[in-house]
Structures are given as structure tokens and as C-alpha cells.
Amino acid sequence: MWGRIVPAVSCIVLTGACADTGAATIEALCDGATVREIGQLDGSGPAEASGLAVSRSEPDVLWTHNDRGNPAELHAVTVSGEVLGAWPVAGIDNIDWEDLSITGGGLLVIADIGDNGQRRPSVLAHAVVEPNLTRPPENVELTTTVEWTYPDGPHDAEALMIDPRMGQAAVVTKGEDAELYVTAGPALDDEVLDEEALSDDEADGDPEVLLRVGTIWEGVEVTAGAISPAGRLLALRTTEQLRVWQIGDGPLDQMPSWPSCRLDLDQKRGEGLAFVDAERLVAIGEGKTSNIIEITLPPSEN
């Protein structure tokens, strides 16, 4: 069901690193990118689809969820927009779910990081095993929850990414500028899921203080983020644009030095973003009949 089209979309290199080895490669990705609508929600599912993740077990299936004040449940939809059902997540509330990520080991990570009033003393990330789509919807068991706080007070955020290379997590705030915060080490990947592997602070229930990296995109409100399955590309979106970074060898806090480009992505109330593979992303907007967009990048070393 996934497909390709040919017309190119324009690109702007935003880092000033055009002489670097990776700059020409990232520019070519945006120069040759294509954007097309592949589906539309059928009206029977989430009214405010926010996060987005691609199923690891079922082809052409996406996971999404509603944002604040709605039931704590994951919705499965096909890439054409057919709603397959809702799977409740037991033991947690939907305070303000804003993004959905996935670990290198295939765990779905629900980012309860929204804070419109910037009053929450801490935010949460919940990891769950992907529901089995061959069975009727049933409660999804929570695997683990981690709690984070910012070093400089509360922030509203709608983008969470888990680096498949080392399990580090990154949160990008939504405000006048996009600010990057990261965990010091692995956050939710497989090797830190059991209680013995958690840090002393986490085991005692104290939130981890995120590290502030700084502004990574000026003058925009970021609504979602994603990292490619092999950890080679990182993407952030607004309702109007997509920006793609070529990931370097280091951790996510080195992101400001990585080359990047951007392209137009005009989607009404666009909230969700996920990588399908190394060359394709999918995006979704809020609303019961929102469209689903596929962004195809040209083949490259990534």
C-alpha cells in the first residue's frame, strides 16, 4: 500500500555547514523528497490524533492516540485511514499525551509531556509492548514509566524521540522557539526496563532532570518528532514544515551541529510523525477525518 511519486520538493540547508561531507547529502534528501496524501481517517476513531508510530508487527498499520482529557488508549489505523480499534492502557491516565515513539527493541513509548499552562512539575513517558492486532482489543499492560523534570522550570512539549542507537531520549519543546532537552543516558530501551537496571533516583521515584541543549529551531512550534529505525535521520515537524537532520556519530545533544534541511508540509493541525523506514515518513493531523501524508526521501547512504 505504500508508494512513491516523482515530483521534487524544494529544500533549504539551515546549518551553514555546506562544506561538510554530510551537507550535500542532506540537501539532496530534501531536493528529491516527494509528499503525497495516502489516506484519510474514516471518522470512527480518534478525534485529536496526536502521536504516531508505525507498527513493527503488522504492515500498513499505524498507532496513534488522542491528547489531553481523553481515555488512556492506543488506536490502530491503516495507512489508508481505516480505524481498527482502540486498546486501553491499564494503570495510567491521559494527562496530556502528545507524542508516540518507539524504542530500538520495539516498545511503544507514550509521551505524556503536554503542558499548555506550563504548570506541571514533571512529565511522564510510558512504555508498553505493542498490542497484538490478531486479538480483540484488550487492556495493554504498562511495562514501565519514567518521570522527567526540566532544569529551568515547566515547558509545554509535543515531541519525544528515542534514539535506537543508545536508547537516549530527547524532548523538544513547543513555544516561540524549539528547545532541545535530553536524558543523560538510556531512558527506556530494553536494557533499562527492569527495576534493578534503573538508576537509584528512578528506583526511589525521584524524577530525572533532563539536560538542556538549547534552541534547535527558531520561531516555530514543533508538534512531533521521529528518528529513523537505524538511527541515521532525525525529523521534526510543524503544521507547515518538515525539517530533517543527518545524525552524526555522537549522542543527541550534538544535534545543533548536524546538517539539516527542510521542506513544505502543509497539513491542517498536523500533530503526528513517524518513520516507516530509512526513506519514508508518515504524518497525520488532528480531526476524525484528517488526512494521512507520506513523505518519501530519495535513496541515499542513510
Domains of the chain: 12-296 (2.120.10)
The confidence score (pLDDT) of residue 194 equals 44
Residue 18 has pLDDT above 60, yes or no: no
User: Exposed/middle/buried for 181, CB within 10 Å: 0-12, 13-18, 19+?
Assistant: buried
Nearest alpha-carbon partner for 123 in 176, 198, 213, 187: 187
The confidence score (pLDDT) of residue 1 equals 59
The confidence score (pLDDT) of residue 27 equals 86
Residue 195 has pLDDT above 90, yes or no: no
Average pLDDT, the chain: 86
Percent of the chain with pLDDT over 70: 86
Residue 24 has pLDDT above 90, yes or no: no
* pLDDT, mean of residues 118-128: 97
Cα angle 121, 123, 127 (rounded to 5 degrees) comes to 155
Q: Please state the pTM of the whole predicted model.
A: 0.88
Residue 292 has pLDDT above 70, yes or no: yes
Three cell numbers, residue 88: 486501553
Q: Are 33 and 9 in contact (CB under 8 A)?
A: yes
The confidence score (pLDDT) of residue 26 equals 86
* pLDDT tens-place string over residues 210-232: 999 999 999 999 999 999 999 99
Q: How confident is the model at residue 201 (pLDDT cuts 50, 70, 90)?
A: very low
Residue 9 has pLDDT above 80, yes or no: no
* pLDDT, mean of residues 146-151: 98
Task: Tell me which residue has cell 498536523.
Answer: 270
- Helix, strand or coil, per DSSP, at residue 22: helix
The confidence score (pLDDT) of residue 12 equals 33
Q: How confident is the model at residue 4 (pLDDT cuts 50, 70, 90)?
A: very low
Residue 23 has pLDDT above 90, yes or no: no
Residue 17 has pLDDT above 60, yes or no: no
User: Exposed/middle/buried for 231, CB within 10 Å: 0-12, 13-18, 19+?
Assistant: middle
Percent of the chain with pLDDT over 90: 71
* pLDDT tens-place string over residues 231-263: 999 999 999 999 999 999 999 999 999 999 999
DSSP letter at 89 equals B
> Who has greater pLDDT, 301 or 93?
93
